[in-house]
Amino acid sequence: MDFNLKPQERKFVEEVRAFLDAQAERPDAAEVMAPDRDAHSQLANSPERRAFNRRMAEQGYIGMSWPKEFGGQEIEGIYEYLLNEELALRGMPLIGKGVGCIGKTIIRHGSEAMKAEFLPKILAADIEFALGYSEPSSGSDLASLRLKAVRDGDEWVLNGQKVWTTSAHFADWYWVAARTDPDAPKHKGISVFLIPMDHPGLTVRETKTMGDHRTNEVFFDNVRVPADRLVGEENKGWTYVCEALDFERFTFYTVNPLLRKFERAVEALRTTNREGRPLSEDPVIRRDVARLATDLETAKMLQRRVVNEASKGRVPAVEAAMYKVFSTRLGQQLTDFVLDALGPTGLLRHGAQGAVDNGVWEHFYQTTPLDTIGGGTSEVQKNIIARRGLGLPLN
Ligand SMILES: Cc1cc2nc3c(=O)[nH]c(=O)nc-3n(C[C@H](O)[C@H](O)[C@H](O)COP(=O)(O)OP(=O)(O)OC[C@H]3O[C@@H](n4cnc5c(N)ncnc54)[C@H](O)[C@@H]3O)c2cc1C
């Protein structure tokens, strides 16, 4: 069995590293690279991040797997995944939302006018998107969503509310799922719309969460959009949402940040003393860190199964669910372990005097639970494994 990358994939990774090394030398690098602050650069409006994304586009890293007729290079999705691993390692914004979920759905289902309007802007990294799926009563059971869209002549009128919309406070466009047929079965009455984020009638309100993660509620009050802002066919939105997730699943699930956290943990154990001796000499700590190292190898293997399935053109739904459940729980276990080992000083925050590794572990303690929720909770992933992997549907 050969788990190594192919020579052309390795060459690509080296090129990406060289590109990112050069970016790291720029005076504005700190604004786009935040390996200590999970997803920091993606959670605020940032001209530096936008400029960085444009440089990525100039480098040809945006839309690599798109068909050539739409400006892509038609290369395998594995390259986008490899790129994301390198970006994630340095805490840089991942590619995915625009080129993946949205761009690929427009390519497959959008009108010619929508393709002409959006695809070049996505390829040039000129626009940023927010995803409007979750609602106050619809998260895991997304198909029950209730944001109402009613046809009125040449327009649709939207009323209702979304929650947890990351980046709604600075994105340019809102990719929104709404109910267009309240009488149809729940999966068959949903459509997707593209709406400018500054559209009259849209109100964005901040929701603060753990780990300094800003997200938003978005309220729709008679938001009137032209009929051609509906993506693809009316009432086919559920298919598009699921398809987009299937396309992108493996590019989202990077393992490098977890490996990097583990390296930091080992370093913290080596360099932090208790009663005059490094923590790494404590037999209980040595036992636990060895167990975590073993689990980390398991996470790597689970992730390779995801990539392997996806690169063969199959949908890695079960493999991705297994990897997500396992790796996000491992992220929490690793953080719990380090905080237990460090004792009270581990709880000191970023910037506090005496904080170990500048408070990074306290920050990870707050952000790792989010990973077990976003993109489908652990319970939902386990349902996928039971239903699709083991053939155990709920009757
Ligand atoms: C960091 C982050 C960013 C996010 N960004 C976005 C975004 O940009 N756009 C967006 O639309 N949404 C976003 N979300 C929302 C996310 O998709 C939802 O939080 C998630 O789908 C869960 O939905 P919920 O919060 O409504 O919880 P619920 O679905 O209400 O779940 C509550 C609890 O019940 C459990 N549960 C639910 N159903 C079942 C079941 N069938 N079997 C067993 N247990 C079950 C869940 O696992 C959970 O523990 C984000 C969330 C996070 C954490």
Give yes or no: residues 272 and 367 share one domain. yes
User: Considering the domain boundaries, does residue 119 fall inside one?
Assistant: no
Is it the case that residue 372 has pLDDT exceeding 90? yes
d(CA 162, CA 169): 13
Confidence of residue 41 (pLDDT cuts 50, 70, 90): low
Give yes or no: residues 259 and 384 share one domain. yes
In the three-class reduction of DSSP (H, G, I as helix; E, B as strand; rest coil), residue 175 is classed as strand
User: Considering the domain boundaries, does residue 266 fall inside one?
Assistant: yes
Boundary of a domain, candidates 199, 233, 267? 233
Which range of 55-69, 252-266, 310-324 scores highest in mean pLDDT? It is 55-69
| CB of 143 closer than 6 angstroms to any ligand 1 atom | no
Ligand 1 atom with the smallest distance to the CA of 134 is 11
Confidence of residue 224 (pLDDT cuts 50, 70, 90): very high
Please tell me the distance between residue 226's alpha carbon and the centre of ligand 1 in angstroms. Answer: 31
User: Considering the domain boundaries, does residue 115 fall inside one?
Assistant: no
10 Å CB burial of residue 345 (0-12, 13-18, 19+) is middle
Phi first, then psi, for residue 345 (nearest 5°) are -65, -25
Ligand 1 atom with the smallest distance to the CA of 130 is 8
Number of domains in the chain: 3
Return the sign of the alpha-carbon dihedral for residues 59, 63, 64, 68: negative
CATH of residue 35: 1.10.540.10
Please tell me the distance between residue 366's alpha carbon and the centre of ligand 1 in angstroms. Answer: 17
Query: Residue 54 sits in which domain range?
Result: 7-95
Averaged pLDDT for residues 54-68:
96
Residue type, 294: T
The pLDDT value recorded for residue 375 is 85
| pLDDT-wise least confident of 114-128, 190-204, 293-307, 310-324 | 310-324
In the three-class reduction of DSSP (H, G, I as helix; E, B as strand; rest coil), residue 226 is classed as strand
Boundary of a domain, candidates 233, 267, 294? 233
Give yes or no: residues 91 and 168 share one domain. no
User: Considering the domain boundaries, does residue 339 fall inside one?
Assistant: yes
Strand partners, 215: 207
d(CA 378, CA 252): 16
Averaged pLDDT for residues 209-230:
94
Give yes or no: residues 77 and 190 share one domain. no
Please tell me the distance between residue 140's alpha carbon and the centre of ligand 1 in angstroms. Answer: 5
pLDDT digits (tens, 9 = 90+) for 92-146: 888 878 998 899 999 999 999 999 999 999 999 999 999 999 999 999 999 999 9
Is it the case that residue 313 has pLDDT exceeding 90? no
